[in-house]
Amino acid sequence: MFLNVKKENPAKIWNIQRELLGLRQSTVDLLCRQTTHGQWFHPEILSHTPTPKVNVSPSKKEPLQAHNLLICHVTDFYPGHVQVHWFLNGQKKTAGVVSIHLIYGRDWTSQLLVMLEMTHHQGDVYPCHVEHPSLDRPVTVK
């Protein structure tokens, strides 16, 4: 007797398991760097790590003292480990910060949305601070 087993699409299975996919991508990167020693790949290709692009924007145009959402959109970075922090006038903000799960692209780069609920007052400055292994120093965008 044969069982009628439906085969799942491998791409669908991988896309559901985002954390596992990220781990596999990191493992491949580590193994390729450790085992090839640049013999099969040019060193500049192996050492290339895309740096994150950072864009900050409000979710809507509102007057002062209106409740709003600031969006820090971090894109095109690899590996997927990134830290994003919001500040208000030099003080780190933790309340009202919402992060969307890391999104993996087809080219192995990632993107991330980190939002801050806020009420803007005259003179307030809300920089988004991004740290990533590919950066010599953190990027801060106001």
Indicate the average pLDDT of the chain: 80
Token representation of residue 72 = 């820090």
Q: How confident is the model at residue 67 (pLDDT cuts 50, 70, 90)?
A: confident
Q: Please tell me the predicted confidence (pLDDT) of residue 66.
A: 73
> Do the Cβ atoms of 88 and 120 come closer than 8 Å?
no
- CA-based angle 104:107:109, to the nearest 5? 50
Q: Say which CATH class 49-141 falls into.
A: mainly beta
- Indicate the pLDDT class of residue 59, thresholds 50, 70 and 90: confident
pTM: 0.65
- 82 sits in the region (left: phi over 0; alpha: psi -120 to 50; else beta) called beta
Per-domain residue ranges of the chain? 10-45, 49-141
